[in-house]
Structure 1
Amino acid sequence: MAHPPLIAGLELGGTKCVALLASGPGDVRDRLTVPTTTPAETLAALEAALDRWSFDAIGVASFGPLELDPDHAAYGALTATTKPGWTGVDVSRRFADRYGKPLAIQTDVNGAALAEARWGAARGMSTHIYITIGTGVGVGTIVGGRPVQGVAHAEAGHMRIPRRRGDGFAGACTFHRDCVEGLISGPALAARFGITGEALPQDGPEWDLFVHDLVGLLHNLVTGFAPQRISIGGGVIASRQHLFPRIRKALDESIAGYGAFGGLGIAVGPPGLGDMAGPMGAIAMGLSALDR
């Protein structure tokens, strides 16, 4: 029997990057994590890992925004990003040219959403959403089995939502100030409360604002895309599983029984792959390169 294809998966995040040699979540052969610093330093560290490995394809799941129009001259490169020094970096071409292997690239959250569909909590679903809340707020939206893509990939983490009465925080997004990312990402929580999200007390009143603002995003995603499931992960919420009942209840109250959406709350929860959803997104992209 032929061995399963081995993928060199690269998950590029705002804080750290992961290189993974694997065929799936049950078959991880090697892993390297490096901090996200300058493009030259970070990508060279990842290449040092890939240079040691034997693999069949490369999958890249990267923070964005990315140029994902295959007919565009800058396909596979980062566009105007909040990460200093990374705008214009051509991630796709760099790795394709160096290794000469089939390569597929997607946003980190779209990759994680596709991994959830292949191995995780969204198996068998054609329309679902993966959200990560960490250095930023990323939303991977899959409709009919494919990531939403028009003139660009969707960036729902930068959606604006109604603010809670009395909340005067200006927001921390360098582009939009008080979009969702500017309100509930890790850096936004630190700017708003003067303490990192990880250090906030489990049941502190700060989470009331967090739930309010997150549910504003969820309401718009539910009514806009009618997903079968919304999975929410990332460093901010990974250790706050007790928030999910509050989030589901607040979302049901926000939807207010409208149409078929009332009761969707039971389909909101953590990713089935846990903290492996992001790295497995890169593996899913590499497998899709071979499928092509």
Structure 2
Amino acid sequence: MTYSPLIAGLELGGTKCVAILGAGPDDVRARETVPTTDPATTLASLERILDGWRFEALGVASFGPLDLDPCSPDYGSISATPKPGWTGTDLTRRLAARYGVPLAIQTDVVGAALAEQRWGTARGLSTHCYITVGTGVGVGLISAGRPVQGVAHGEAGHMRVRRARGDDFAGACPFHGDCVEGLISGPALAKRFGRPAHELPDEGGEWDLFVHDLAGLLHNLVVTAAPERILIGGGVIASRPGLFPKLRAALAASIAAYGSLAPYAEQLDTRLGPPGLGTMAGPLGALAAGLDVLDTADG
């Protein structure tokens, strides 16, 4: 029998946090959810869960922005974030000191991308990305099998795109106004249309604006990195599978049969879609981060 180490994972989201114990999608021993409130309450609730488990490594996949510079004195903490009360919250030192096991931290979207690489529809691919559209908008880009990161992790969810004609919504991002997150995240849609996304009709014109804005982000990703596969998850889009044909059509039209990307635009049925791991991509991303740190230690 092949030995599989048990990993504890924490997926920290803007609305809820998930604690998971397991070795992969076919071996999940426990999974518990707590609401995301203030840092002290939320982290204490998660620690009470972890205290009852035995594990060999801990992976954290968190909303951000995060300080992921290993040389920074604030490594592993949340930097300036729209989430009230969370700016400056340390996530790694307290957890490392409490549990004494190898610990890895990644953004939630990069974690999900790593999970899709290990177990989902990105297996065997060199370049892919995972996009989440929920409380926020985030992009986890993998190239040559590893997360793309410079001196800070990317914030492609905050890129600006060309606005639809006649759309004068100011945006909901407290930092950038009408960046992509400020236009299509769950809170942005509620502010923009006066009701939450799950109450909008499937064929409403609201989704035409959503598709336009998200297609702008996709266009920029494709012309920059041409990922072999683009997976889009998150609470806003998970229950709207009918948006994918519209997104493919809008992206193909935006690419406009340009150069070497013309064949890419013809392959969007297989290149652009939902995550293979479904709504488990996020929690499994925390496990994938924990497995990565063990792999690094063994290497």
- Give yes or no for TM over 0.5: yes
Q: Which residue of 1 aligns with 2:289?
A: 285
2:270 is the alignment partner of 1:270? no
Aligned residue in 1 for 2:13: 13
The answer to whether the aligner puts 1:86 opposite 2:86 as a matched pair is yes
Q: How does 1:200-239 map to 2 (within 5 A)?
A: 200-239=200-239
Question: In structure 2, how many angstroms separate the alpha carbons of the residues matched to 1:175 and 1:206?
Answer: 23
* Partner Cα separation in structure 1 for residue 126 and residue 69 of structure 2: 22
For residues 175-194 of structure 1, the aligned pairs below 5 Å read: 175-194=175-194
The question of whether the paired residues in 2 share the 8 Å contact of 1:252 and 1:264 is answered with no
* CA offset digits 1:149-169 (Å, max 9, x no partner): 112000000000000010010
* Separation in structure 2 between the aligned mates of residue 97 and residue 290 of structure 1, nearest angstrom: 18
2:252 is aligned to: 252
Partner Cα distance (2:144, 2:25) in 1: 24
Task: Give the superposed CA RMSD.
Answer: 0.9
Shift of 1:141: 0.8
Shift of 1:145: 1.1
2:61 is matched with 61
- The alignment's TM-score, normalised by the length of structure 2, stands at 0.96
> How many angstroms apart in 1 are the aligned matches of 2:143 and 2:3?
32
Q: Please, which runs of 5 or more residues in structure 1 have no aligned partner?
A: none
Unpaired stretches in structure 2, ≥5 consecutive residues: none
Secondary structure in 2 matching 1:260: helix
User: Cα–Cα, structure 1 residues 88 and 195, in superposed 2: closer, same or farther, change >3 Å?
Assistant: same
Is 1:22 equivalent to 2:57 in the alignment? no
Q: Partner of 2:259: helix, strand, or coil?
A: coil
* CA distances 1:19-39 after superposition (whole Å, capped 9, x unpaired): 000100011101110000010
The Cα shift of 1:259 comes to: 2.1
* Deviation larger for 153-162 or 264-273: 264-273
Task: Provide, for residues 29-88 of structure 1, a one-character-per-residue CA deviation record: whole Å limited to 9, x for no partner.
Answer: 011100000100000000001000011100000000111111111111111111111111
Shift in Å, 1:289: 1.2
Greater shift, 67-76 or 208-217, is seen at 67-76
2:295 maps to amino acid: D
Distance in 1 separating the partners of 2:195 and 2:2: 52
Alignment of 1:130-209 (within 5 A): 130-209=130-209
State the shift of 1:143 in Å: 1.2
Give the Cα–Cα distance (whole angstroms) in 1 for the partners of residues 92 and 295 of structure 2: 18
Aligned amino acid, residue 81 of structure 2: T
Contact 1:19 1:31 (8 Å CA) reproduced: yes
Name the SS for the 2:19 alignment partner. Answer: strand
Q: TM-score, normalised by structure 1?
A: 0.98
The amino acid of 1:89's aligned partner reads: T
Shift, 1:182, TM fit: 0.3
1:260 deviates by 2.5
Alignment of 1:66-145 (within 5 A): 66-145=66-145
> Residue 287 of structure 1 aligns to a residue in which SS?
helix
- Give yes or no for contact 1:22–1:30 (8 Å, CA) kept in 2: yes
One-letter amino acid of the structure 1 residue matched with residue 57 of structure 2: A
Which sits farther off after the overlay, 256-265 or 44-53?
256-265
